[in-house]
Each structure stands twice: as C-alpha cells, then as structure tokens.
C-alpha cells in the first residue's frame, strides 16, 4: 500500500515556502505520495474553512496516512483528525500549539474549544513533536505542552527559530529522517 504524507502549512504561508518543496522532492524520490496543501486565506485563517478544506482534499484516511503540520497547521490538522475519528499512521508537528498565543490573538478562534487528546492519542499511534528552543513566533513552552498532551516523542533543537525560509530554514534533514523512521 502506498504511504501518503499530507503537509499543512501555518499562518501566512503556502506550499512553496520554507522547507516544504525540499521535503516533497525527497519524499517523492522515496516513492512516497506527498501533498502540500495551500490552505484558504492563510493571511486571515478561519478554522471552519481550514477544517472543510481538509475534509474536501483528503479522500480517505487509514493507517497509511501520515500528517505533518507546521505552526498553525498543527492545530488545524489535529482538529481535522479529531472530527474524522479514524486511525492513521502518524503525525509530526513542528512549532505546534494547542492553546491561545498571547502574541497572535488573531488565531484564537482555532483554540476556542480544547482538543480531546485522549481520543487523538488512540487515533494516532506514532506522534512526534519538534521545536526549536529559540522559536520567536510560538514560544517553545507551548510546543512542549502540545507534546506532553499528545504523549508524543519530543525533539527540541537549537538555532532553527520558527523553521521559516526567511530565517534560513529551506531544508530540514531532521524532519525528513523522522518521516522515514515513522513510515518504515
């Protein structure tokens, strides 16, 4: 069965930013179907629109589906998976959060209701959360909290800030290696 990777970007981003294109090429070279979404209205994101987008663009969920979320894409992906109530293969979240960010109140609507972490843990057998200790957008403590709530394997690195291209992060071998470890 073909493994499928779905990548959801964050606030103000799109499929051609950051390390997304680099990762897609490498995964496709390994014969892994990879789709990077262009989420609607990423500069003024709406949680319902993002949920509906996921519902419309992911035809079927099963244990061969894996997800990668970056920043806002993490909670958006988790909300989609929570409502889908289907077991998947795994998830990797970078600079994620599942609580209101004091510096980004425009994203509060994504956190109006708490996630059901118990259900998500049952649905997602393989869980990895990656953070950089110098993240200047999402305080690293929010990502640590997410990892703890998901009982995820937590990886903290230094020097990657928020994993953005404008910060020099256009390749992410650590993530690539984690994906291969997860699906093999």
Choice among 9, 18, 71, 132 that is catalytic? 71
* 42 in catalytic set: no
What is the arithmetic mean of pLDDT over 133-161? 98
In terms of pTM, does the model score above 0.75? Answer: yes
Residue 71 annotated as catalytic: yes
Active-site residue flag, 135: yes
**Where would I find the beta strands (DSSP E) of 71-164?**
90-94, 126-132, 153-157
pLDDT tens readout for residues 21-40: 999 999 999 999 999 999 99
Each residue of 163-175: pLDDT tens digit? 999 999 999 999 9
Please tell me the predicted confidence (pLDDT) of residue 1: 64
pLDDT for res 15:
98
């Amino acid at each position: 069965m073909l493994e499928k990777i779905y990548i959801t970007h964050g606030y103000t981003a799109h499929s051609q930013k950051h390390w997304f294109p680099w990762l897609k090429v490498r995964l496709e070279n390994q014969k892994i179907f990879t789709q990077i979404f262009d989420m609607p209205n990423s500069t003024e994101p709406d949680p319902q629109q993002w949920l509906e987008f996921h519902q419309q663009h992911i035809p079927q969920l099963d244990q061969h589906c894996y997800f990668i979320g970056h920043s806002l894409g993490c909670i958006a992906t988790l909300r989609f998976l929570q409502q889908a109530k289907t077991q998947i293969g795994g998830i990797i979240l970078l600079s994620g959060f599942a609580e209101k960010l004091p510096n980004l109140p425009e994203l509060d609507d994504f956190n109006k209701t708490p996630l059901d972490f118990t259900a998500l843990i049952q649905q997602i057998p393989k869980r990895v959360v990656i953070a950089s200790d110098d993240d200047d957008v999402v305080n690293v403590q929010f990502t640590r909290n997410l990892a703890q709530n998901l009982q995820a394997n937590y990886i903290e690195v230094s020097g990657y800030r928020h994993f953005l291209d404008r910060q020099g992060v256009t390749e992410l071998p650590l993530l690539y290696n984690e994906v291969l470890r997860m699906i093999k």
